[in-house]
Each structure stands twice: as C-alpha cells, then as structure tokens.
Amino acid sequence: MAETYIVTGAAGFIGSNFVKLALEREDARIVALDKLTYAGNLANLSGAQDNPGFEFVKGDIADGPLVRKLLETYQPSAIVNFAAESHVDRSIDSPACFVETNVTGTFTLLEACRDYFFGATAPRHFRFIQVSTDEVYGSLGSTGYFTEKTPYSPNSPYSASKAAADHFAGAYFATYGLPVLITNCSNNYGPFQFPEKLIPLMILKALEAQPLPIYGDGRNIRDWIFVEDHCLGVMEVLKRGVPGEKYNLGGNCERSNVEVVDAVCAVLEDLFPASENPAMIQGGVVSYLDLKSFVKDRPGHDRRYAIDASRVKNELGWSPGHEFNEGLRRTVKWYLDNLDWCRDIRSGKYRMERLGLPGEK
C-alpha cells in the first residue's frame, strides 16, 4: 500500500519539486498543502495535478483545525514541512510574517502531530520532517564546515525564525517523543525558483539587459545544491533517518556570488548569445558580463556557508548527483524554455526590485 505524505509548502520551489519526485519515484499518495502566497504557484505543480495519487488543499500551516482535519482524514505516515517564508531580504523588511509562518506555523503542525501520533489512528512509523537551512548556523570564516553539531547562530530574521522552528521540532522529540527529523540544506537552485533568489534573478535580468546587482564585493560564499538532489536527500532521511537526529544536505559546491553570476552569464552566452538577444542589441551591450553591477551590501550579510554532508552519505548513502555547471545549465535552459511562467510570476506585485534595505524605499 502506498504511503501517504502531507507536504506543506507544496506549491513553492522546493516543495513542488519534492512532490513531483515523490509521485514519480515512491508511488506515494501526496496531500499538498499550500497557502499560495506570492511564491506559491499552482503552475509549479503542473503534471502532478494529473496524478490520481495527488490532492491539493489550499490552507495555512498555522491553521490548527485545518491541519488536524487533514491528519484525521488522510492518516498520513509523514508530514514533510517545506512551508516557509524564505527570502532573507524580505525578512529584513517584514519580519513578522516570518515569525507567523516559520515559528507559529511549525509549532501548530507539531502540536497537531503530537495529538495525532499518540492517538489511535496514526501509523507507528509516522515521521515529521522539518526542512531547514544552513543559514541557522550563522557565518563561517575562510575555513571549516557546518556539521550537525555546529551551534546555531542566526544573523537575519529569516534564519532566526528557522532556528526557532528547528528548536521547537527538536524539543518535541526530546519532550514528547514525537518522531521528528531535521534537515539543513545549502542554497538550492533549479527549475521553478521564484526570481527574487540570486540565480533566477540574474537570468531574467540578463535576458532584459538590466544591470545584474551583486551585493558588496561579491565574495560572499555559498554552498550550492541542485533542487532535485536536495529533494532526494529529504526522501532518504524520510525513509531511513533516525528520529531525533539532524542531517546536513549540502552540494559540496562552494562558489562566491560573483562566480555564480559569471557562470550564469557564460551559460546564457552559450544558450542565447548576447548578439542574438534583442534587449542586449537595443541596449548596445555586447556581453552579459558587462551587465554586472556591485551594489550596497545586505545588512548582516553572512560571509561564508559550507556544509559537511558526510553523515548523510555514510549513514544513508546519499550524495548530490549534479555537478554545478551541469545543474546550472539545466536551470538556465528551463528558464529560457519557460518564459511564460516567468512573465506570469512577475504579473503580480513583484518586479525584481531590490528589497532588504531598511529606511530606503
């Protein structure tokens, strides 16, 4: 009998990729829960909606009665919590909604799952997967890596809200015995990512011959992971991870922001040369690299993240399957092939403007 998973944040970037992989590879029944905020989009679930094992529910993870009803109705063997406000710049401008979703929402899910798990209907192998970020660990120096034992030291309202959610999740295991597992991932990239994040923002701005804004000196370093690899890692933790434990999921791929922008420009030049781009021709710009522009840094900008993912490799056999250049090429090609999706995304309030500079509107 197929497992039933409730996947929260299922219409977002990572959640939608996870849903489609789970339907394809696990023959799972998926109940997709999403509030459909600015970054949640039913179009992200194209294909999944035709699967008989898929059902979509519009709703908020902070709605306790709704969550309890879903648990009672579907009796899932897992909740996989991708639901989150996730953009650091937005958290600088409007931290309250990050607390509401990331902290209160996670708490609401945990409370509902506590009653469900210790009731009469939950499968004994039920799991709660808290999907988190490496940003909770704070900033690294020029050497070293985040491990599962690294103390939390968040530096933005976003990372602070995720750290709080992780602590609640861990406390529900320690205090109540709720079978919680936590994953902390590095920077994701790939299809369906909302264009406020670095890689899709650079792609779409370059296509329009707009300046490519790079924060500070561009030397802030992140560890990059292709979204499909991350989702497969979450699946392994769901199936074989040990309740109460944390697992770091990293791409083993450190790149500075300026290196990422340079790589995006190189792939664009190969797939859609500047000499063939009407916007570039009209603007008199010869190369995508000429669009690079260094701008005022983000407040509290962490200098370096790097994940040690050896535990999940050694214990669960997972490792990332995509090298950065390969994954980036797939990503750029997806955006080039899906410009209608990009236009629809930008038909709302978001216009790829700069966020996260307090006092500067």
Which pLDDT score, from 0 to 100, does residue 88 have?
87
pTM of the model: 0.94
- Whether the per-residue pLDDT at 359 is higher than 80: the answer is no
- pLDDT tens per residue across span 52-69: 999 999 999 999 999 999
- Whether the per-residue pLDDT at 73 is higher than 90: the answer is yes
Question: Which tokens go with 273?
Answer: 């040369």
Question: Which tokens go with 229?
Answer: 């690899």
User: Do residues 79 and 18 touch, judged by C-beta distance below 8 A?
Assistant: no
* 26 band by pLDDT with thresholds 50, 70 and 90: confident
**Residue 239 CB contacts under 8 Å (≥ 6 apart), including other chains:** none
User: Do residues 243 and 171 touch, judged by C-beta distance below 8 A?
Assistant: no
Mean pLDDT (whole number) for 121-128 = 93
Helices (H), the chain: 13-25, 64-74, 88-93, 96-98, 106-117, 157-176, 198-207, 227-240, 257-271, 278-283, 310-316, 324-337, 339-345
* Nearest of 288, 290, 281, 292 to residue 266 by alpha carbon: 288
* Nearest of 179, 308, 177, 321 to residue 249 by alpha carbon: 308
CA–CA dist 192, 199 (Å, integer) = 11
- Whether the per-residue pLDDT at 214 is higher than 90: the answer is yes
Which pLDDT score, from 0 to 100, does residue 23 have?
95
- Whether the per-residue pLDDT at 174 is higher than 50: the answer is yes
- pLDDT tens per residue across span 265-312: 999 999 999 999 999 999 999 999 999 999 999 898 999 999 999 999
User: Do residues 132 and 74 touch, judged by C-beta distance below 8 A?
Assistant: no
Say what angle helices 257-271 and 198-207 make with each other, to 10 degrees.
40
Which pLDDT score, from 0 to 100, does residue 121 have?
87
Helices (H), 215-323: 227-240, 257-271, 278-283, 310-316
Q: Which range, of 9-23, 35-49, 283-297, 311-325, averages the lowest pLDDT?
A: 35-49
Residue 286 CB coordination number (10 Å): 11
Question: Which tokens go with 222?
Answer: 């992140």
Higher local confidence (pLDDT), 192 or 298: 192
Q: Active-site residues: which are they?
A: 134-135, 158
